[in-house]
Amino acid sequence: DTAVSQTPKYLVTQMGNDKSIKCEQNLGHDTMYWYKQDSKKFLKIMFSYNNKELIINETVPNRFSPKSPDKAHLNLHINSLELGDSAVYFCASSRTSETQYFGPGTRLLVL
């Protein structure tokens, strides 16, 4: 009965590679988010999608591209990975303007 799930849980990769993180929610929500938590532990919004439409893009490098194939999924593709991309990435979902519920996180380490 997982609400918001993310895969993979851990991702270790080399600089310059391209990788994707997947997020799925079974709550019937129409809005999904990606947040990034860096080494200093601050959580910051990256993107938000509502009904597959991008509504928030918080000055994130073009190397990051979210894709929402349907309302239940929001994937994050990252091109040309850099050392500074190492962080924990959290997916969240909500019913439009209501409370957001978070996934368990994907720990990305770029070597």
Partner 1 sequence: DAKTTQPTSMDCAEGRAANLPCNHSTISGNEYVYWYRQIHSQGPQYIIHGLKNNETNEMASLIITEDRKSSTLILPHATLRDTAVYYCIVRVAEYGNKLVFGAGTILRVKS
Helices (H) and strands (E) in the chain, counts: 0, 11
Question: According to CB under 8 A, which residues from 55 to 94 bind partner 1?
Answer: 55-56, 58, 90, 92
Q: Which of the ranges 15-23, 27-35, 63-71, 75-83 carries the binding residues for partner 1, by CB under 8 A? A: 27-35
CA–CA separation, 76 and 51 (whole Å): 16
Handedness of CA 71, 106, 108, 97 (dihedral sign): positive
Which residue from 71, 73, 77, 102 is in contact with partner 1, where contact means CB under 8 A?
A: 102
Site for partner 1 contains 97 (CB under 8 A): yes
Distance CA 109, CA 87 (A): 7
How would you classify the pairing of strands 10-13 and 106-110?
parallel
Nearer of residues 85 and 89 to partner 1, judged by Cβ: 89
Q: Which residues bind partner 1 (CB under 8 A)?
A: 4, 31, 33, 35, 41-45, 48, 50, 55-56, 58, 90, 92, 96-105
